[in-house]
Amino acid sequence: MIKSITYQFILFASFIGLTVLLNGCTKEVTIDIPGYKEQLVIDGRIETDSPPFVLLSKSMEVYASTDLEAFLNGFISGAVVTVSNGTTTVTLSEICSDNLPPGTEELAASMFGIPVSELANYQLCAYTSFDPAIWGEIGKTYTLTVSYEGQTYTAETSIVSPTSFDNSYWQADGDTPNHGFSWVTLSDPGGVFDAYKWEVKRIDLDENGEERDQSFMPTFSPVFDDEFFDGLTFDFWYENPYAYGEGYTEDTEWLFEQGDTVVIKLSKMDEPLYEFMEKKYIQLQTAGNPFATPTNIPSNIQGGALGVWAGYSPSFDTLVCEP
């Protein structure tokens, strides 16, 4: 966390310095970018007590159309996808959004990236299994194999031991007495590599009597490792990633409001997955900054595909935002 934050701060400060001081101007240009080749993209996930879920798609040329319909309907079917936990190997079934088995809607919605209510409107296909023998278990390593168009791709991920917060609390920000960040006290296990991902959703009910947030959302810089705080106990905060845009002012955006009920999902991950996530968020946050190095995100997939096979070990904490 600290190293990526430090790096980003330096880049940010340099960039701000440059743009504030020099007031550069920007225009759209068309330029030849040679070297495009189509690659398979694997977006697979397995969590404790959840089925494996794998989406397959293809990479698109930079200048290709970004039509949502075409993309959503472009998930690949016809691949053979298996997951093994070392003793059991299961071939995943292809399921489609308009015909999901009961109980998988929320997971599917979060993987597809659309609200549960819209699942039926698209023909989105993914690979999963409802055989509990292959659902995520702490301490196991899962091997993914994808065979498609004569190519085979493999990846491994582990579900590591989870770590819960010691404590969580809400604290008003100085300028805005009814708004503040979510704070936690974390005791990091000593002597081992630990990496975390922070996601939240607010579960207090809205005017329609529904939970305010349908799914967990990662924060702005949601992954961090324990390189600098291995074995330490310390307090830190995270922002509310839902609180921006319409309805929020400069004083209230990114903050939780007094009275919010928030579920914090703190997922642990193994080192290769952290490598992917760390570089992914650096890429997302430094896009367009001339001081950033163009970095490809290191995949844990063998065989030339993009994406990641991600094993998460979450723990959950419910925070009521009251002083």
The closest of 207, 214, 178 to 321, measured between CA atoms, is: 178
Whether 314 and 47 have beta carbons less than 8 Å apart is answered as yes
Smallest separation, CB 163 to other proteins (Å): 17
Answer yes or no whether residue 50 interacts with other proteins by CB under 8 A.
no
Work out how close the CB of 281 gets to other proteins at its nearest, in angstroms, rounded to a whole number.
9
Give the interface size with other proteins as a residue count (CB under 8 A).
86
Contact by Cβ (8 Å): 282, 18: no
Report the candidate in 74, 31, 32, 69 with the shortest Cα–Cα distance to residue 56. Answer: 74
| Footprint (CB under 8 A) of other proteins, residues 247-266 | 250-251
Binding mask 208-247 for other proteins (x = CB under 8 A): -------------------xxxx-xxxxxx----------
Contact of 111 with 54, CB cutoff 8 Å: no
Among 18, 116, 172, 263, binds other proteins (CB under 8 A): 18
Shortest distance (Å) from residue 179 CB to other proteins: 12
In the bound state with other proteins, the residue whose beta carbon lies nearer, of 139 and 298, is: 298
* Structure-block tokens of residue 143: 């091997």
Type of residue at 86: G
Chain-centroid distance of CA 236 in Å reads 20
Q: Under rule CB under 8 A, which residues in 172-211 are in contact with other proteins?
A: 174-175
Q: Which is nearer to other proteins, 262 or 292 (CB)?
A: 292
Encoded one letter per residue, x for contact with other proteins by CB under 8 A and - for no contact, window 154-173 reads: --------------------
Instruction: Kindly identify the residues of this chain, within the stretch 114-153, that bind other proteins according to CB under 8 A.
Output: 114
Q: How far is the CB of 133 from other proteins (least distance, A)?
A: 26
Segment near other proteins (CB under 8 A); pick from 76-84, 122-130, 139-147, 276-284: 276-284
As a whole number of angstroms, the distance between CA 230 and CA 190 comes to 5
Residue 75 or residue 135: which is nearer to other proteins going by CB? 75
- Least Cα distance to 122 among 77, 75, 78 occurs for 75
Neighbours of 198 (CB within 10 A): 23
What is d(CA 106, CA 54) in angstroms, rounded to the nearest whole number? 15
Give the 3-state secondary structure of residue 293: coil
Q: Which one of the spans 12-20, 92-100, 127-135, 154-162 is the region binding other proteins (CB under 8 A)?
A: 12-20
30 binds other proteins (CB under 8 A): yes
Nearer to other proteins, 57 or 164 (CB): 57
Contact 3, 227 (CB under 8 A): yes
Contact positions with other proteins (CB under 8 A) in 53-72 = 57-64, 66-69, 71
CA distance 57 to 126: 10
Burial class of residue 159 in the structure, from the number of CB atoms within 10 Å of its CB (0-12 exposed, 13-18 middle, 19+ buried): buried
Q: DSSP of 136-151, one letter per residue?
A: B-TT-EEEEEEEETTE
Closer residue to other proteins, CB minimum distance, 49 or 67: 67
Interface pattern 294-323 for other proteins (x via CB under 8 A): xxxxx-------xxx---------------
User: What minimum distance in Å lies between the beta carbon of 29 and other proteins?
Assistant: 4
> Mask: binding to other proteins, 78-117, rule CB under 8 A, as x and -?
-----------------------------------xx---
Task: Give the DSSP H/E element, type plus range, for residue 320.
Answer: strand 306-320
